[in-house]
Amino acid sequence: MLRPLYTIVKKNRPLLARLSLALTYVRYCMTLRVAIGLFKKTINEERFEQFRIVFPDYATFLGLFEEIFIYEEYAFSTQKSDPVILDCGSNFGLSV
């Protein structure tokens, strides 16, 4: 949990954006550890900003959240205002 938080702190974003992302990530981690790990609840949807995300497994959701929103694995620069992006993955479409 510390490595993703350290990555958020180092980002070149406004302070409030980094704080919001960090608090959201901590909340998701606590949900996984407490609600799911300790109390054995089944949770298969979350809210992130204005989006409602539905997923099959919370641990998978958290891993993809880290990969996409914290480590920004899919971020790229382009000169085009409307690039064509093909997402041929087989998960639940969080990157889209």
The values of phi and psi at residue 90, to 5°, are: -125, 25
Q: Rounded mean pLDDT of 29-50?
A: 96
Higher pLDDT, 45 or 90: 45
Q: List, for residues 67-82, the tens digit of each pLDDT value.
A: 999 999 988 999 999 9
- What pTM did the predictor assign? 0.86
Helix, strand or coil for residue 52? Answer: strand
Q: How far apart are CA 22 and CA 26, in angstroms?
A: 6
